[in-house]
Amino acid sequence: MSGMAAKENQSGACSLVVEDKRQEGMPMRQAAIARKTLETDIRCRLTLEGGDRRIATGIGFFDHMLTAFAVHGGFGLDLQADGDLQVDCHHTIEDTGIVLGRAFAQALGDKSGIERYATFTVPMDESLAAASVDISGRPFLVFHASFDTPSVGGFDCAMTEEFFRAFAFAAGITLHVNLAYGRNDHHKIEAIFKAAAHAMRLAVRRRGDNTALSTKGSL
């Protein structure tokens, strides 16, 4: 059986937990990253095969987006960020992108045996967003989206691009984000995070042999 199951946690709140996607004989792909600077202190545990989610960045809308990313990507994610929110949200969001990107790079190792490419398009009400990824070892971000308001909650809309740039460069992936249309900035940003999550979910899938999908023989 696959898919998501609702689980009651101790506080009575409902959280989504992806059931175990382990393949027989295959190790779980996991990473643990801690990064501390004078601006942020971030700890992250990532499991590509799924698991519980526990996300706290101090920015409510960003927690909502990272939870959506983990749930829709089918990833286990424990991410705790303690940043200088008295300045603004910039350092916390950008540095979280760096840490999450590093976690993917570590979990994927030499990147052999994975699908490598994926594109996924997600509608959310009036908004439509697409994400294309190449887990290539060549960091690049193309980001085509604009927003109508400065912020959603404590999340500056301009930080969406900064987050995905930090993520793509730290992960060593090529990522293209294209927002086709939309009006509500909450919907636009959420569609982008969900599209990126599904694209990553598909791109990290194991192909069934352990070679690298590259004419060079390695990624």
Using CB under 5 A, list all residues that contact Mn ion.
190
Q: At closest approach, how far in Å is the CB of 46 from Mn ion?
A: 22
Q: At closest approach, how far in Å is the CB of 135 from Mn ion?
A: 27
Q: How far is CA 25 from CA 43, 65, 180, 205, in A?
A: 29, 33, 41, 15
Residue type, 43: R
Between 177 and 204, CB nearer to Mn ion: 177
- 118 with 50: CB under 8 angstroms? no
Q: At closest approach, how far in Å is the CB of 184 from Mn ion?
A: 10
Element holding 71 (H helix, E strand): helix 60-73
Question: What span, in angstroms and rounded, lies between the C-alpha atoms of 39 and 37?
Answer: 5
Q: At closest approach, how far in Å is the CB of 126 from Mn ion?
A: 13
As a whole number of Å, the end-to-end CA separation of the chain is 32
- 120 with 128: CB under 8 angstroms? no
Residue showing the smallest CB distance to Mn ion in the complex: 190
Q: What is the DSSP string of 116-141?
A: -EEEEEEEETTEEEEEEEE-SS--EE
Q: At closest approach, how far in Å is the CB of 152 from Mn ion?
A: 9
Between 156 and 190, CB nearer to Mn ion: 190
Between 67 and 112, CB nearer to Mn ion: 67
Between 104 and 147, CB nearer to Mn ion: 147
CB neighbours (10 Å) of residue 68?
19
Between 95 and 190, CB nearer to Mn ion: 190
